[in-house]
């Protein structure tokens, strides 16, 4: 659309959010989606899937040498995941704030991890940590045909551009 290409840096930024298997099992999908909607972000992709070790090895390339990597693989393949792409102004940075610190002990109350988790090995949700990483992760998890470009009816109440 015109807005997508116009001079509105960051407005149509996108990020990959995934409810991890513990979040799905604990029936947190709805509450997690609600927090992103409440804030004013726009959902442009959504699916439930079982993630393969192949996808995870590409997703977590920087962690593959860590001692906890085998247990991370086991955790992430222990049940279905709900993957989403959210769009909006500075959504990558804002999502990391909504999600909270990687370690739930450090995550502030009010954040998703700070409200719903106690240990780093079961921290409920994934959020891309930079714009560049978000683009890579979205391309890894979603086909472009699975991403929906649409105009939210409240755009002019969230932005002045
Ligand atoms: P994130 O971007 O906040 O998710 O954190 P990282 O990219 O550093 O790590 C990815 C994921 O690996 C985390 O969300 C945790 O699920 C897991 N992880 C990170 N550090 C540890 C750890 O020390 N122990 C265990 N068991 N899992 C960890
Ligand atoms: Mg990370």
Coil/strand/helix, residue 126: strand
For the entire predicted model, the pTM comes to 0.95
Does the annotation flag 136 for ligand binding? no
For 60, other C-beta atoms within 10 Å of its C-beta total: 15
Q: Which helix (H) or strand (E) holds 17?
A: strand 13-19
Contact 79, 24 (CB under 8 A): yes
List the chain domain ranges: 2-51+80-149
Residues of the chain with confidence (pLDDT) below 50:
1-7
Any alpha helices (H) in the chain, and if so which ranges? Answer: 2-5, 21-25, 29-39, 53-59, 69-76, 91-99, 112-116, 131-141, 155-158
**Using CA positions, which residue lies closest to atom 1 of ligand 1?**
102
pLDDT digits (tens, 9 = 90+) for 108-134: 999 999 999 999 999 999 999 999 999
The number of the ligand nearest the C-alpha atom of 97 reads 1
End-to-end CA distance of the chain: 14
- What is the pLDDT at residue 148? 97
- What topology is assigned to 2-51+80-149 in CATH? Alpha-Beta Plaits (3.30.70)
CB within 5 A of ion ligand 2: which residues?
Answer: 129
Q: Which residues are catalytic?
A: 126
The ipTM, to two decimals, is 0.99
Does the annotation flag 5 for ligand binding? no
Q: What distance in Å separates the CA atoms of residue 63 and residue 57, rounded to the nearest whole number?
A: 9
Tell which residue, 20, 52, 16, has the closest CA to residue 119. Answer: 20
Q: Which residue has the tokens 């409440």?
A: 38
């Amino acid at each position: 659309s015109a807005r997508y290409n116009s001079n509105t840096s960051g407005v149509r930024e996108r990020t990959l959010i995934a409810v991890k298997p513990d979040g799905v099992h604990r029936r947190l999908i709805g509450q997690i989606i609600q927090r992103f909607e409440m804030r004013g972000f726009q959902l442009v992709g959504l699916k439930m899937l079982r993630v393969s070790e192949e996808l995870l090895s590409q997703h977590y390339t920087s962690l593959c040498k860590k001692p906890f990597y085998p247990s991370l693989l086991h955790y992430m393949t222990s049940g279905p995941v709900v993957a989403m792409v959210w769009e909006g102004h500075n959504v990558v940075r804002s999502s990391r704030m909504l999600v909270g610190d990687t370690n739930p002990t450090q995550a502030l109350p009010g954040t998703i991890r700070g409200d719903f988790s106690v240990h780093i090995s079961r921290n409920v949700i994934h959020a891309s940590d930079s714009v560049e990483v978000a683009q890579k992760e979205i391309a890894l998890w979603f086909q472009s045909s699975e991403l929906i470009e649409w105009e939210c009816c409240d755009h002019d109440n969230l932005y002045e551009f």
